[in-house]
Amino acid sequence: MVYTRKSPALTIIGLILLAHSYLVKNGQLEAVVKYLSLTRAVGEMTQLSLIFGGIALVVGLWHWFADHKEGDLDYYLGSVAGGIFILFVAMIVKWYFDPLVAQLSREIGPVIPGRRFIHDVFGLNYVVLGIVLGMVIVNVFKIPEWAQHGVRLSRLGLKTGVILLGTLYSFRELVHLGQLSVVMIGVFVLGSVWLVLLIGARRKIPNSMGGVLSAGVGVCGVSAAVAAAPVVQAKSEEIAYTIGTILVFGVICMFLFPVVGHLLGMGYVQFGAWAGTGILNSAQVAGAALAFQPNGIETLKVAEIFNITRVLFLPIIVLWLAVWYVKRETEAGATNLVQVDTGKVIIEKFPVFVLGFIAMFLLSSTGVFAPAQHYQGRYFDNTNVSGSRLLNDAELTTLRTESAKLQRDDQKAALGRLIDNKKVMSIADSDVLRGIVSARTLAGPANAAITKANGAVFHTAKMIAAFRDWLTWLFAFGLTGLGMQITIAAMRQAGGEPLVIGSAVGVAKAVLSLIVVVMLVRETI
């Protein structure tokens, strides 16, 4: 089978991107840039359009004019068209559609007290809009034939993003979130799998159907269902039913979770923990987290730790299902069963991308991308504070006067060192001083001086900032492509028992995890 299509489409996209880069760079789109508040994105718009426009033009010409024969070159280079198609749609959404929706929403004015606009309330940002546009394209217009093959690259983008996410965690964050996630995920994964198997047995669905559905609903969605399928000897239609159920439920959750999170006033850690536990499919966890907080990745980081923790449960669940299936079928009198090799199952099913995430975290922990003690990409360094950023005489006088209000010895000592040195002297002092500001013990000018001093000794690591940009685009790419794979036909396949059982357990998991998160998870890392 030859995958590459002889079409001018990719060449045309390449020319459009190159023209876009030229127009943005030379200010011909200045009026649009100003209206949509895109000034900060101009550099990115110029560079990305130039790079990917060039790639699209070169590969596009090859697609259009070369003679294609079946083989690896045709298979892998043929997928570039679909990949660029996803990226092109993601660029339109991120640079134009999302800012336009936000602008129109602001022009309409706040819809609820507290200056919340329509796009805030419904979480209409580039993630949600990208997925929706992807779904509209596939279900209304159909994916163009020349792009269909490469649209299957979207999950690769998501996995690459998850691995790179490892660079952004500090040891302190990972230890805290890791403990929290293992307990929560352990309870909910094992509980969900058990519940699906129990209900499945009561409703007399085939063991293979129950097994594959329990993995999909309990662990991490589509990948888990596919991984568990061989050990429970699931048929293709049973896998399709499970995937349909996960997609239906996952799509609803992806749009509903952020709205509920905002309405309940959840913080980043709380929402991340809830999404990472309650949403069935890994891809949709990232979608919900970015939809909840589109202009930062704190929520995504928390959600992905929970997601990765449950992915780590996959080999255990596959093993459990293998043993369970053999036992159930033997009881039913089956004779053609394969013996379960525990070690082989664990090795075969262990998700390598999780190892990649851990490897990237360990690499980052050596300090190669940012000082090892960085926290959320910012690190402490008070050695090169410029004169203008040191506290001035007026600020020192204010702090001396206000220091009498402090009662605690550690706070007095930290403030004393700040006054003596005109700058913050350690991370411990910084923490104590931030506590003083949070408690609002001192007057406004004194708090402003402390905030200024703290700002002067914390720096953003350039490489970490670059990783954040990469992540934004990898997830935009992956999630827009995910939208293009959510077909009405696929969701229809979920009908009947699997949808009833999967939805019942999914709702229970979402509601119970919400209660646990709201009651037990604190908004601190």
Partner 1 sequence: MADPNSQNIDLRTTENGFKYHRGSALSIFKSDRREDIVALICALAIALGVYLFIGN
Based on the shown chain and the rule CB under 8 A, indicate whether residue 489 belongs to the binding site for partner 1: yes
Residue of 264, 362, 368, 520 that binds partner 1 (CB under 8 A): 368
**DSSP assignment of 384-432:** T--GGGS--HHHHHHHHHHGGG---HHHHHHHHHHHHHSS---HHHHHH
Angle at 121 (CA atoms; ends 116, 127), nearest 5 degrees: 125
Q: Is 36 helix (H, G, I), strand (E, B) or coil?
A: coil
Looking at the Cβ atoms of 347 and 511, the one nearer to partner 1 is 347
Q: How far apart are CA 420 and CA 396, in angstroms?
A: 9
User: Which CB, 235 or 405, lies closer to partner 1?
Assistant: 235
Closest to 86 measured CA to CA, from 4, 12, 148, 6: 148
Q: How far is the CB of 362 from partner 1 (least distance, A)?
A: 12
Burial of 43 (C-beta count, 10 Å sphere; 0-12/13-18/19+) = exposed
Where do we find the tokens 């093993």? Answer: 319
Instruction: From 5-13, 21-29, 162-170, 437-445, give the range in contact with partner 1 by CB under 8 A.
Output: 162-170
What size, in residues, is the chain?
A: 525
Distance CA 485, CA 154 (A): 9
Closest CA to 470 of 352, 380, 377, 372: 377
Q: Which range of residues in 58-66, 157-165, 450-458, 515-523 is near partner 1 by CB under 8 A? A: 157-165
Closer CB to partner 1, residue 271 or residue 313?
313
Nearest residue to 291 via CA among 262, 249, 248, 250? 262
**Residue 66 DSSP one-character state:** S
**Closest distance of CB 339 from partner 1, Å:** 14
Interface residue with partner 1, options 39, 237, 372, 495 (CB under 8 A): 237
Near partner 1 by CB under 8 A, which window of 21-29, 435-443, 488-496, 512-520?
488-496
CB-nearer residue toward partner 1: 368 or 413 = 368
- Residue 240 touches partner 1, criterion: CB under 8 A: yes
Please name the amino acid found at residue 516: V
Burial of 435 from C-beta contacts in 10 A (0-12 / 13-18 / 19+): middle
Residue 76 touching partner 1 (CB under 8 A): yes
Q: Report the SS3 class of residue 112.
A: strand
Whichever of 7 and 487 has its CB closer to partner 1, that residue is 487
236 binds partner 1 (CB under 8 A): yes
Q: Comparing C-alpha atoms, which of 185, 243, 255, 178 is closest to residue 219?
A: 185
Nearer to partner 1, 274 or 467 (CB): 467
The answer to whether 493 contacts partner 1 (rule: CB under 8 A) is yes
Taking CB under 8 A as the rule, does residue 510 contact partner 1? no
Report in angstroms how near the CB of residue 485 gets to partner 1 at its nearest.
6
How near is the Cβ of 229 to partner 1 at its closest, in Å?
Answer: 6
Could you say which of 4, 21, 105, 167 contacts partner 1 (CB under 8 A)? 167
Applying the rule CB under 8 A, the residues between 246 and 285 that interact with partner 1 are: none
What phi-psi label fits residue 333: left (phi over 0), alpha (psi between -120 and 50 degrees) or beta? left
Q: Which of 73, 71, 68, 85 is nearest to 11 (CA)?
A: 85
The two structure tokens encoding residue 361: 């975290």
Which of these, 64, 65, 59, lies nearest to 79 by C-alpha position? Answer: 59
Minimum CB distance to partner 1 smaller for 54 or for 267: 54
* Residue 370 or 516 with smaller CB distance to partner 1: 370
| Residues in 197-226 that interact with partner 1 by CB under 8 A | 222-223, 226
Contact between 11 and partner 1 by CB under 8 A: the answer reads no
Which residues here bind partner 1, judged by CB under 8 A? 1, 75-76, 79, 148-150, 152-153, 155-156, 159-160, 162-164, 167, 222-223, 226-227, 229-230, 234, 236-237, 239-240, 243-244, 348, 351-353, 355-356, 359-360, 363, 368-370, 461-463, 466-467, 470, 485, 487, 489-490, 493
